[in-house]
Structure 1
Amino acid sequence: MAKPTHAPHSDVLDSRLYCDYARLVRLQAQAESFTLLPHLCAGSVLSGRHHSLFRGRGLNFEELRHYQVGDDIRNLDWKVTMRTGKPHVRSYTEEKDRNVIICVDQRSAMFFASTEVMKSVVAAEIAAICGWRVLKDGDRVGFLIAAHNRLYRHQPQRSQNALLSQLKRLVQVNQTLDVTCVDHDEVSFSRWIELIKRMKTKQSTLILISDWHDCAPRHLDQLKQLQQHNDVLAIMVSDPLERSLPQDLAQANWVVGDGQYQLNLDSHAKVDLASAHLTEASSIQRQSLSKLMAMKNLPHIEIGTQGDHIEHFQKRIGGR
């Protein structure tokens, strides 16, 4: 169980543009209002502790049942046996710790918002509150941070100091983002997935927080393979402008670009075409992620940039 941490004072910083270390620490208090454990799919790591296949003197009592050939006689419940006249045994399951790896996207495409808060800030704060929740559950938490220029990997640990160190790194990476950033080839979604696979996770929980803009079908196939032996929880951070464009945009003569290419939206035809493309692409991505989550009956979670991302996440994950 994590001990309460005194939050540091915030620097003068626009919290809509960049995440703040003090804010990430204060999110510890809000980690009490939801759980990654009991309200999700039964049989999933996320739905509770990972239960060992070994039966015996474990931590949790599971059931009282009739004796079967091969049962350990040390587990006989003599009171029930004497009362019923038939041998009964008490069955236990051994409880194991979880390794939870939080993969958070802080690449250049995340430095965007058309409403209140940058996608990069939303992703960082959701990652932080998940980290605090995992630590409060007594499990190990590690981070895999995708910056615009490199990938940072932190091994899962059950340590508040380790989590604070990882949050500091997350803030440092977040605050390097600006409109001039261009992603290096080493931080593509392919490299991100490759690094996750090299970690050789098994019976772990992977929480991926991204806008999923460069996630291709082959990457989803790889995540499906990971889903077979782990729990992969995909969280999409999206902005309304990435789903469709307003009709009056042509009158403003907008020019949009990605740092390399530009598109002049100076006519209704161009705006309609671009908007239709955005709508189709985002719909396909949502459907693909929903299918990935359906493998373990987990919720498809999408969070916006309107500023209510913490409350929305708590509600979607099973807040109480």
Structure 2
Amino acid sequence: MAKPTLAPQSQGLDPRLYCDYARLVRLQAQAESFSLLPHLKAGSVLSGRHNSLFRGRGLNFEELRHYQLGDDIRNLDWKVTMRTGKPHVRSYTEEKDRNVIICVDQRSAMFFSSIEVMKSVVAAEIAAMCGWRVLKDGDRVGLVIAAHQRVFHSKAQRSQNEFLAQLKRLAQSNQALNVDAYNSELVSFSRWLEQVKRMKLKQSTIIFISDWHDCEEHHLDHLKQLQQHNDVLAVMVSDPFEQSLPEDLASLKWVVGDGRYQLNLDSKAKVETASSHLAERMAQQRQSLTQLMSIKKLPHIELDTSGEHIAKFQQLVGGR
């Protein structure tokens, strides 16, 4: 379980643009106000320490049910059997540690906001808060950080010192972003996903926090494969401008870019075309991620850049 940590001094950065290490450490206090455990599918890794049904004495009584071929007769409940005239057995659950891997997007497309807070800040803060929650539950946590130049990864550990080191790396990746940053070919969604697959995770919780802008259909197929032996929780971070553009944008003569290419939105036709493509793309992403979450009956979580991401996340995953 995580012990209270003295927060380091803040770097004085604008919290709307960047998150510093001190801010990520202070989020330990926010981890008390929500839980990744309740209100999710029973038997899911996310429902707490995942329940493993087994025959024999366990830690927690699970259920009383009819005897089935192969059940251990030592688990027969003779009182119920005699009362009902039909054999009943008691089954138990065993608590096991969770391994939780938090995959957090800090690539160049995340350095954007039209309202209050950069998507990169939203993702970093949610990742930090989830990590603190996992440690408070006594489980293991590791980060896979997709920065704009490389992917960093660490195995899941039940170590506060190791997690603090990961938060330092996360803060460094966050602060490396700027308007001129562009992604290396080494950090495409394919490469990011390959890194996760190489970890050969089983019975783990994998939390992906991203805007999902370059996630394609074949990537979702790989995520579905991961979902077979793990619980994959998708968190989408989006901005209102990524769904539709203001009608009067053409008069402002905006220029948008990704660090290498630029587009002049200097006419109503260009704005309408761009807005239509954005809306279609966002609808497809939502549908795909909702279908992915439905496999394990997990919630589809979408956060925006309004600055209310912490409260909304706490509410969606089971705020206290």
Query: Could you report, residue by residue, the CA deviation over 1:82-112 in whole angstroms, capped at 9, with x for unpaired residues?
Result: 9999997653222111111000000111111
Mapped to 1, the partners of 2:249 and 2:208 lie a distance apart of 33
Q: Secondary structure at the match of 1:157?
A: coil
Q: Secondary structure at the match of 1:143?
A: strand
Which consecutive unaligned segments of at least 5 residues does structure 2 have? none
Percent identical across equivalent pairs?
A: 76
Alignment of 1:20-35 (within 5 A): 20-35=20-35
Query: Could you report, residue by residue, the CA deviation over 1:263-314 in whole angstroms, capped at 9, with x for unpaired residues?
Result: 2111111111111111111111111111111111111111001100000111
Q: CA RMSD in A?
A: 2.2
1:67–1:141 CA distance, 2 compared to 1 (3 A): same
Report the Cα offset of residue 75 of structure 1. 5.3
Which consecutive unaligned segments of at least 5 residues does structure 1 have? none
1:12–1:82 CA distance, 2 compared to 1 (3 A): same
* Corresponding residue number in structure 2 for 1:151: 151
Query: Could you report, residue by residue, the CA deviation over 1:7-32 in whole angstroms, capped at 9, with x for unpaired residues?
Result: 12212111111112111111111112
* Corresponding residue number in structure 1 for 2:129: 129
Q: Which amino acid aligns with 2:55?
A: R
Query: Could you report, residue by residue, the CA deviation over 1:14-69 in whole angstroms, capped at 9, with x for unpaired residues?
Result: 11111121111111111121111121122311123222242223221223567788
Mapped to 2, the partners of 1:224 and 1:85 lie a distance apart of 44
* Corresponding residue number in structure 2 for 1:184: 184
* Corresponding residue number in structure 2 for 1:206: 206
Q: Which amino acid aligns with 2:251?
A: Q
Q: Secondary structure at the match of 1:56?
A: coil
8 Å CA contact 1:55–1:94 kept in 2: the answer is no
1:107–1:78 CA distance, 2 compared to 1 (3 A): same
Mapped to 1, the partners of 2:70 and 2:224 lie a distance apart of 37
Mapped to 1, the partners of 2:84 and 2:303 lie a distance apart of 55
* Corresponding residue number in structure 1 for 2:287: 287
Pick which of 114-123 and 89-98 moved more. Answer: 89-98
What is the TM-score normalised by the length of structure 2? 0.93
Q: Which amino acid aligns with 1:44?
A: S
Mapped to 2, the partners of 1:129 and 1:269 lie a distance apart of 42
Aligned length: 320
Alignment of 1:1-320 (within 5 A): 1-64=1-64, 90-320=90-320
What is the TM-score normalised by the length of structure 1? 0.93
Q: Secondary structure at the match of 2:227?
A: helix
Report the Cα offset of residue 130 of structure 1. 0.4
1:68–1:243 CA distance, 2 compared to 1 (3 A): closer
Mapped to 2, the partners of 1:41 and 1:69 lie a distance apart of 27
8 Å CA contact 1:65–1:88 kept in 2: the answer is yes
Report the Cα offset of residue 80 of structure 1. 7.9
Q: Secondary structure at the match of 2:215?
A: coil
Report the Cα offset of residue 205 of structure 1. 0.6
8 Å CA contact 1:56–1:94 kept in 2: the answer is no
1:66–1:295 CA distance, 2 compared to 1 (3 A): closer
1:73–1:188 CA distance, 2 compared to 1 (3 A): same
Mapped to 2, the partners of 1:81 and 1:289 lie a distance apart of 46
Query: Could you report, residue by residue, the CA deviation over 1:231-284 in whole angstroms, capped at 9, with x for unpaired residues?
Result: 100000011111111011111111212222222111111111111111111111
Q: Secondary structure at the match of 1:93?
A: strand
1:51–1:273 CA distance, 2 compared to 1 (3 A): same
Q: Which amino acid aligns with 1:256?
A: V
Mapped to 2, the partners of 1:145 and 1:251 lie a distance apart of 39
Report the Cα offset of residue 133 of structure 1. 0.8
Q: Secondary structure at the match of 1:156?
A: coil
